[in-house]
Amino acid sequence: MYPKGNEPTARYRLPKLNKKVIYIDQFAISNMMKALNPQTKAYKKGTMDAFWVRLFERLDSLCKLQLIICPDSDSHDDESIVSPFFKALKRMYELLSHGVSFHDHETIKRFQVYEHAKNWVTGNSEEELALNVHSVIRGNINAWQDRLIISVNMNYDQSWIDDLRKMRGKIHQGLNEVFKRWQSEKNNTFDDWFKEESMAFGKSALQIYLNYLKRFVEISSGQAELNDNDIFPPSAVILIHSIHDAFRGAGIQDPDMWQKTIEYLSDPSLQNIPFNQISSMLYAAIARKAAAGRKQPLNQGMNNDIATISALLPYCDAIFIDKECYGYLREKPLVDKINYGTKLFSLTNKEEFIEYLDGIEQAASREHLAKIDEVYGHSWKKPYTTLYK
């Protein structure tokens, strides 16, 4: 509350921060919300594991101490919108992200492909991508946070929410059909499934682009009518345009553009793009389980979980995800190949996660903690457990 009245303004320098970036999966956001929200059935029945309150207290306190940030993602939005507790869930993940958000996973994929295409076209496909966590996030990770969070709640049309549910159901149905095929592939190896999944990315992008062009021609010639789905092009179309931008920057001319594009999207080096490697390995791990005799179908959130993990994992210091995906990431060869220095946590090792968070505060200097008290006040770090009351 400074300055007051006629007091002169003054510049007050704060030390630079180096926050840990921690991604909290939607299932944990949901459970923390239920554990604190008196409007939920689980809260009223008293059936929530006390762990979720402990986890919230640790995360909220460390965020206020300016030691961590938990960016939100498009997956948080998509999974919350279809919930009757959308506003309560949004309140939770926005409290922990404090205005810092990952770009949507399709955008992060496009960033990675663009950088890889620039390397590939110059003969350096094995070169590390020129991306870091600051490249894939909106907002300043290491900003000293304001006390207030300003947020806007959109009133989504129910028909749009229903369409989102239908789309998720359709994707889930398609994945379970593939799962049935995997169950019959007893002679396949992990590498067989990995190669199939990783090389499908380029073929799929090309096919979607061709379908889009065909649809565009039909509308232009009057053979079909324009509808809402035609207003914005599919993400694969934007991705291929991005590849063309990378090629033009390297001097590729339009007559050779498509030949080079087809060559690129068929190249085995696509397997090394982070999101493609991670997602393909996760699907290959599921296929291996299916062929080994797993009968239980995949849950509806699996496709979304894999898309989120594959896009965000390389840019996090730690992630807290569901037990099934955690289990796959701990299997060989995933545990050896997917190595970005990201610490993995789930309910399987939940106490280790609490210890990891405790260690972050313990490693903070006395000067840093004193500065927090000076800037925000002595009671600032107290967890906001009355969030919904």
Let me know whether 305 and 166 are in one domain: yes
Let me know whether 278 and 388 are in one domain: no
Query: Does residue 3 lie within any of the structural domains?
Result: no
- Residue 175's domain comprises 104-131+154-311
H-only helix segments in 49-189: 51-64, 74-81, 86-97, 105-121, 158-184
Of 14, 64, 2, give the one whose Cα is nearest residue 367. 14
Let me know whether 92 and 187 are in one domain: no
- Whole-number mean pLDDT of the chain? 94
Query: Does residue 321 lie within any of the structural domains?
Result: no
Length of the chain: 389
Task: Compute how many other C-beta atoms are within 10 angstroms of the C-beta atom of residue 82.
Answer: 13
pLDDT (tens digit, 9 = 90+) per residue, 327-362?
A: 999 999 999 999 999 999 999 999 999 999 999 999
Query: Does residue 290 lie within any of the structural domains?
Result: yes
Predicted pLDDT at 1: 58
Let me know whether 90 and 109 are in one domain: no
Let me know whether 91 and 125 are in one domain: no
Let me know whether 258 and 360 are in one domain: no
Q: CA 374, CA 186: separation in Å to the nearest integer?
A: 64
DSSP 344: E
Predicted pLDDT at 361: 97
Strand order in the sheet with 20-24: 68-69, 20-24, 318-320, 343-345
Let me know whether 275 and 375 are in one domain: no
Amino acid symbol at 291 = A
CA angle 125, 127, 133 (to 5 degrees): 120
pLDDT (tens digit, 9 = 90+) per residue, 79-135?
A: 999 999 999 999 999 999 999 999 999 999 999 999 999 999 999 999 999 999 999
Is residue 240 pLDDT above 90, yes or no? yes
Query: Does residue 329 lie within any of the structural domains?
Result: no
Q: Which of 311, 337, 364 is the last residue of a domain?
A: 311
CA angle 372, 377, 379 (to 5 degrees): 105
Predicted pLDDT at 232: 86
Considering only the C-alpha atoms of the chain, give the largest distance between any 2 of them, rounded to a whole number of Å. 80
Predicted pLDDT at 169: 86
Let me know whether 354 and 242 are in one domain: no
Let me know whether 95 and 109 are in one domain: no
The CA–CA distances, whole Å, from 185 to 18, 173, 200 equal 48, 19, 18
Residue 380 is inside which H or E element, if any? none
Q: Which residue has the tokens 């999974």?
A: 79
Query: Does residue 7 lie within any of the structural domains?
Result: no
* Region of 312 on the Ramachandran plot (φ > 0 left; ψ -120 to 50 alpha; else beta): alpha
Predicted pLDDT at 277: 98
Let me know whether 192 and 262 are in one domain: yes
With bands split at pLDDT 50, 70 and 90, how would you rate the model's confidence at 178?
very high
Of 199, 172, 180, 174, give the one whose Cα is nearest residue 280. 199
pLDDT (tens digit, 9 = 90+) per residue, 262-293?
A: 999 999 999 999 999 999 999 999 999 999 99
Q: Which of 258, 291, 311 is the last residue of a domain?
A: 311
Average pLDDT, integer, range 65-76: 97
Let me know whether 111 and 73 are in one domain: no
Query: Does residue 317 lie within any of the structural domains?
Result: no
Let me know whether 79 and 113 are in one domain: no
Q: CA 144, CA 10: separation in Å to the nearest integer?
A: 17
Query: Does residue 246 lie within any of the structural domains?
Result: yes
Query: Does residue 325 lie within any of the structural domains?
Result: no
pTM, to two decimals: 0.93
Counting the structural domains of the chain, the total is: 2
pLDDT (tens digit, 9 = 90+) per residue, 30-59?
A: 999 999 999 999 999 999 999 999 999 999
Q: Which of 254, 288, 311 is the last residue of a domain?
A: 311
H-only helix segments in the chain: 26-36, 41-45, 51-64, 74-81, 86-97, 105-121, 158-184, 190-220, 235-249, 254-264, 274-291, 302-312, 323-329, 334-337, 350-363, 366-376
Amino acid symbol at 55 = L
Is residue 168 pLDDT above 90, yes or no? no
In this structure, what are the phi and psi dihedrals at residue 102, rounded to the nearest 5 degrees?
A: -70, 145
| Top-confidence residue, 221 or 362 | 362
pLDDT (tens digit, 9 = 90+) per residue, 188-200?
A: 999 999 999 999 9
